[in-house]
Amino acid sequence: MNQKERQLLREEIGDAKPDLCLRSKARIDTGRWWRRSPLWLCVVSGQLIMLSVGRRRYSARLPISSCGESHYNHAMGEFVIVPGEELKFRQFPLSPREALELLRHLKILEVTNSSES
């Protein structure tokens, strides 16, 4: 994250430490002249926070408890937040490894390590 992105995250979460921050491949219009800004997904104390910074700022919050049906669309290579009707953006291009990590942090995918005897 660059300095402006870290500052926006700090304003959103205060002194809390994020459990996970992923830079999605999605880029949105935040008022930059020549290019779009990357969209970040952060998991912080029971909240999923999406943010991006340029001349304008974008941030949105969603409780993890309401992300129960979120999934990874393998065909499109996107993490999809369901339900996400109130969100401006709800599809985020991520690698399968990043999506798996995000699903684990959202407690949607419970992976147990059991050793067989």
- pLDDT of 65 reads 87
Residue 109 — very low, low, confident or very high, per pLDDT cuts 50/70/90?
low
Q: What is the CATH number of the domain that holds 19?
A: 2.30.29
Q: How many CB atoms lie within 10 A of CB 99?
A: 24
The count of structural domains within the chain is 1
Expressed as residue numbers, the domain containing 40 is 3-105
How many Cα atoms sit within 13 Å of 19 on the Cβ side?
Answer: 15
CB 31 within 8 A of CB 37: no
Selected residue with higher pLDDT from 114 and 64: 64
Residue 74 lies inside a defined structural domain of this protein:
yes
- pLDDT of 83 reads 79
Residue 114 lies inside a defined structural domain of this protein:
no
| pLDDT tens, position by position, 12-38 | 888 888 889 999 988 888 877 788 888
Residue 64 lies inside a defined structural domain of this protein:
yes
Residue 116 lies inside a defined structural domain of this protein:
no
- pLDDT of 117 reads 44
